[in-house]
């Protein structure tokens, strides 16, 4: 059976990259937020949170949230070496992902991109955007230090943490037009050379 992956353009692209990395058949369904498709009864029956991504497995069960989906995919395909087997490597990978997802994405990027979710006062919205960008760049500066002398987030091996970092890099550069710290930018350029990322970027309509 083909895995169903529900995503949104410019969102959940890390999952798309992972599906391409794994190389198994999958069916990518784009959820159009502009049409509020995430709030339809059909989609809410799959994911009552009304969020993306959602992964429908062969047995019909659904996994949601990027980290959970990424870990499950990695564990299902150990031959791809997307998640370390040793306890220390596993902990450090999850530590990196938690910071990237929780601080870079959920706190910082959301504040910049969706300030209206926090305030409807024009002056406050502008302040939130500034604070969101500042917070995201500060968080990426931490990641930049961690990438010093490394090819990938965990060192010499590409892991699910790199896909989490990639979608934030994509938003910062291709959506917001920001300049990334040098090591993060070098990581982004390496990511763009991977066939999995090229397939995702083709979907997004960017070079």
- Summarize pLDDT for 154-185 with one digit per residue, the tens: 999 999 999 999 999 999 999 999 999 999 99
**pLDDT for res 38:** 87
The CA-based angle 159-165-135, given to 5 degrees, is 150
**pLDDT for res 5:** 66
For residues 186 and 39, the model is more confident at 186
pLDDT band at 7, cuts 50/70/90? low
pLDDT tens digits for range 90-148: 999 999 999 999 999 988 998 998 899 899 999 999 999 999 999 999 999 999 999 99
Task: Determine the longest span between alpha carbons in the chain, in angstroms.
Answer: 52
Rounded Cα gap, residues 202 and 14, in angstroms: 14
List, in order of start, the domains of the chain with CATH numbers.
3-80 (3.40.30.10), 87-194 (1.20.1050.10)
Over residues 9-13, the mean pLDDT reads 64
Nearest one of 186, 174, 165, 140 to 18, comparing CA atoms? 165
What order of strands is seen across the sheet that includes strand 26-30? 26-30, 3-7, 54-56, 62-64
Per-position b or e across 54-68, b if 16+ CB within 10 A of its CB: bbbeeeeeebbebbe
Over residues 7-17, the mean pLDDT reads 72
**pLDDT for res 191:** 97
This prediction's pTM: 0.91
């Amino acid at each position: 059976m083909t895995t169903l992956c529900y995503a949104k353009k410019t969102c959940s692209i890390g999952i798309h990259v992972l599906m391409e990395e794994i190389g198994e058949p999958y069916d990518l369904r784009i959820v159009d937020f502009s049409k509020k498709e995430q709030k339809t009864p059909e989609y809410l029956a799959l994911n009552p949170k009304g969020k993306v991504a959602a992964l429908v497995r062969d047995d019909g069960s659904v996994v949601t949230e990027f980290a959970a989906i990424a870990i499950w995919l990695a564990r299902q395909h150990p031959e791809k070496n997307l998640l370390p087997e040793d306890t220390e490597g596993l902990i450090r990978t999850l530590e990196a992902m938690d910071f990237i997802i929780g601080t870079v994405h959920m706190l910082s990027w959301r504040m910049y991109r969706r300030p209206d979710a926090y305030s409807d006062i024009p002056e406050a919205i502008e302040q939130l955007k500034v604070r969101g960008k500042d917070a995201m760049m500060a968080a990426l500066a931490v990641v930049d230090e961690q990438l010093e002398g490394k090819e990938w987030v965990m060192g010499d091996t590409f892991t699910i943490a790199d896909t989490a970092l990639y979608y934030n890099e994509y938003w910062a550069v291709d959506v917001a037009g920001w300049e990334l710290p040098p090591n993060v930018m070098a990581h982004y350029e390496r990511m763009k050379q991977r066939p999995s990322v090229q397939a995702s970027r083709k979907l997004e309509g960017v070079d």
